[in-house]
Structure 1
């Protein structure tokens, strides 16, 4: 076809409320009952074919009902990962030569399938498998994932339209080629949207992918893979393998054709991936691109001029939504004494104690359970440590119960030492520490808080004094990749607040913007001279 196509202009997907009496609430509740009533074989998908693995069984359960098995996955073996890598390589030539309009159509159709007939399925699977409430699932597995697919297609078109200047008699062009090999996408448990974005962003740019979801997100990942195939994704473009990843490290990370890694997860795992690439650097055909987001120790700093009620709501929502299991979740707050002792402490404490965690199918609950026994044990160990700590006082919470699910109570701790581990270590749970400072020490506190933690993902400042906002915003310039003024440090929206941080938080390649998509191309400059010279001599030689 002779045409320069323009993709549909993307817009952010509207968020449904699931309020009592709404049609979407009733529909989602029916789907939840249906999904909970079946047990699935959570197989791999290699070259478009579903395959039951041969490794050890992994039971995927509801974290809030840990005896309820949703499905069974299997640990991928070396040979199965090798098959996935081979499938990605085999599909690469045809996929990278597929016209952009045809590639884009696959992901635009997937977005429409999620927005329409599969919205309840993906939201319900995320709720049951990852213990998210309806509201948290809606903004994640529906809206954010739809936004990633639509906007990434738009970002890709924008990149392709970025062309160099040409002088008279010359036509300069830029060929935005896919990378030299396959991309490995390793995705986390906490966001279905991230699980969808990490393999599809490189694929939109013409790359083929080996995708390993987290076992604790495998239930929703299974349905997402089905949606991509129904949307027309050709065999081998995205190959999903299951399990904890030992075979991925053994095979995919060391393959000569590894061209890139797209990762979200723990700092320790990301460093292992990077080190493995470094140890094998002489064996690759090209230098692998490494893009990763690894976590944070996210903060609110309150100035004495902050509005108390707004600050309280931001603290409670920021710290305790999705049980604190967001990379951006609030875990440390710096509070002026005049506000804290002037009534704000009682407001925050009261809100926190009103929160209910339970079965996410009960829409009255604010949250669910933490993801698994390892997370649960980590939080219990912290509570044991601080129980006799004279520098930390548990104001509410500080307890956990795994008799039915992995429940950790929303915990508020007041600490007197701003260098305490409560202000430096990432816990990834509903644990929120507050340090109270003398009002006159605001600038000292800002400087200390800026550098005390090894991360730089998200942070927020609450103030109405414009001079304080201007000064602190400059002082905190490198403390957070996503910085909020008078808002909680969570809830980034695609194309509105591109997401990512630096230091120990990752490579800051900004998911939800063109800056991420451009990492998945290897540009080629082309110069065509319409009238080449015919004499080797230059004018100055005359």
Structure 2
């Protein structure tokens, strides 16, 4: 009998013992800086001449390590290994496949602070954000292991309708070899979730991590090897996306692509995957989560203090580098000035600095993101009233002040385009109904929040706000595995609900079998 799924608790860093444990882990991880890390193809470790440095975004003079880089020849080698391994891995029972995930979850739980510390250094997360990332990774391992066992028992719990002359059953079988492309902003949780869902379903994968956070992905792969996962189930091939990304997406033996990242890259993958390569015998499946331009509505009946706190948390948590980040605040006219004042007061209390020192605001991920965000801030100065921030912050890293613009028109670029940084645009609405219209006026549809005490309005918001994850009277970030299945509408992706009961169906195909009874 499986134990019920329970979310991994977050660490209370107000507890002095937990603070000491985290500091020890930070020191241990820091002492490991400077190593060169290999690819994994099957059981083979491969160090390449070409490497990519992993830089601490909070202290760019600090190099965490150097990651080997796959070329097309190595990518093809990994594909062949994955194809070979699939023939045996698909025959392993779901219970046994799930057992590797359970073992990995237990080990990650034991080393939670070490994984979180690497997230602090490589991704620029403060302690709480890093701890939540690691907890979510553990949750995905636990949840998807149970889900695969549940699907394997579907004929017991939800059998097909039976007729007197036949015995019918349904089996969920794996797809084949998949390409897993996780993002840098949740480089442990989403990497673990995408990969574990694919392999527990019986597929083999080529894991191509995001370049800025490849070492945390390597540590996850190493953990899976430590728990005894057969070689070739996960093939770890970091590399230049321009060299191997399109090559693998277009490969005739690629059965599915699981991607989380920008809209532009997601659409490119979807278009490339739609083309039929020579000797390809299936339609490739694309599972994509592509970002958002998420908004929070506040009406005049709402708890304004709570709303302001949740707007600030949604906008500036992890420097706004979340696809779920609340980068738009839509305030009913009668309470606009009050809420803006509260938002400004709360944001002014933030300190900016090294994630290692646990400042609320840390760096953005790299130079490319830094330049992009600053360019949007300059655009914002032409489109709205700069209320706070608007410039860089001091430090040996990619630091940007939390920036707030008021009186922004709904058509403005900073209200329409995903910035992926610490930038909040605020606009007025005449009433709650217009606020919903403004919220829906975007090509995205990932997360949203509605703050109100009026039950009729809440019911209308639940029906009318078009997004995959809608929250009432709480922030629009912080989805929990199993509690808030996560995925968006429109240009936010394929609405593949990560951490939900139908997610593994995306990595399987249902085979109906009926046998005539004599």
Please give the TM-score of this superposition, normalised by the length of structure 2: 0.96
Partner of 1:536: none
Q: Does 1:128 align with 2:117?
A: no
Q: Of residues 447, 457, 465 in structure 2, which corresponds to 1:458?
A: 447
For 1:111-260, list aligned pairs within 5 A.
Answer: 111-116=105-110, 118-141=111-134, 143-163=135-155, 164-179=160-175, 181-191=176-186, 192-260=188-256
Q: Could you tell me how far apart the structure 1 residues matched to 2:9 and 2:438 are?
A: 39
- The structural deviation recorded for 1:7 is 3.6
Q: C-alpha distance in 1, partners of 2:502/2:277? A: 25
Q: 1:510 aligns with which of 494, 497, 501?
A: 497
Q: Can you list the C-alpha shifts for 1:376-424, whole angstroms capped at 9, x where unaligned?
A: 000111222333x2x4011111111476100011111103412111210
The counterpart of 1:64, out of the listed 58, 72, 85, is 58
Q: Among residues 409, 417, 427, which one is paired with 1:425 in the alignment?
A: 417
Matched, 1:488 2:475: yes
Per the alignment, do residues 501 and 282 of structure 1 end up closer, same or farther by CA in structure 2, a change over 3 Å counting? farther
CA contact (8 A) 1:43 1:242 kept: no
Which residue pairs with 1:261 in the alignment? 257
Residue 81 (structure 2) aligns with: 87
Q: Is the 8 A contact 1:209 1:237 kept in 2?
A: yes
The one of 316, 341, 345 aligned to 2:340: 345
Report how far residue 171 of structure 1 moved. 1.3
Q: Cα 1:186–1:407, aligned 2, differ >3 Å: closer, same or farther? A: same
Choose which of 304, 310, 315 in structure 2 pairs with 1:319: 315
Structure 2: how far apart are the matches of 1:175 and 1:381? 52
Give yes or no for contact 2:246–2:272 (8 Å, CA) kept in 1.
no
Aligned equivalents of 1:327 and 1:10: distance in 2? 26
1:54 Cα shift? 3.6
Distance of 1:208 and 1:77 partners within structure 2: 20
* Paired residues of 2:252 and 2:277 also in contact (CA < 8 A): no
Partner SS, residue 361 of structure 1: helix
Q: Which runs of 5+ in 1 are unaligned?
A: 1-5, 532-542
CA shift at 1:161, angstroms?
Answer: 2.2
CA shift, 1:283, in A, is 4.1
Q: Is the 8 A contact 2:321 2:364 kept in 1?
A: yes
1:100 and 2:89 are equivalent in the alignment: no
What is the match of residue 29 of structure 1? Answer: 23
Query: How far apart, CA to CA, are the structure 1 residues paired with 2:246 and 2:433?
Result: 49
User: What's the TM-score, normalizing by structure 1?
Assistant: 0.92
Aligned residue for 1:514, secondary structure, equals coil
Change (3 A) 1:408 1:100: same
* Worse overlay, 205-214 or 519-528: 519-528
Output the CA distance in 2 between the equivalents of 1:325 and 1:193: 15
- For 1:428 and 1:267, how far apart are their aligned partners in 2? 12
Tell whether 2:354 aligns with 1:362: no
Secondary structure of the structure 1 residue equivalent to 2:317: helix
Give the counterpart of 2:434 among 429, 438, 444: 444
Matches for 1:264-343 after TM superposition, within 5 Å? 264-280=260-276, 283-341=279-337, 343=338
Tell me the residue number matched to 1:42: 37
CA shift in 2, pair 1:420/1:251, >3 Å: closer
The aligned counterpart of 1:497 is: 484
Whether contact under 8 Å (1:156, 1:514) holds in the other structure is no
Aligned residue pairs, count: 512
Mind listing any 5+ residue stretches in structure 2 that lack a counterpart?
Answer: none
Separation in structure 2 between the aligned mates of residue 171 and residue 225 of structure 1, nearest angstrom: 42
Partners of 2:325 and 2:116 in 1: CA distance: 21
Q: Which moved more, 1:75-84 or 1:165-174?
A: 165-174
Q: Which residue of 2 aligns with 1:467?
A: 456
* Distance in 2 of aligned mates of 1:469 and 1:499: 21
Q: Could you say what the CA RMSD is over the residues aligned between the two structures, in angstroms? A: 1.5
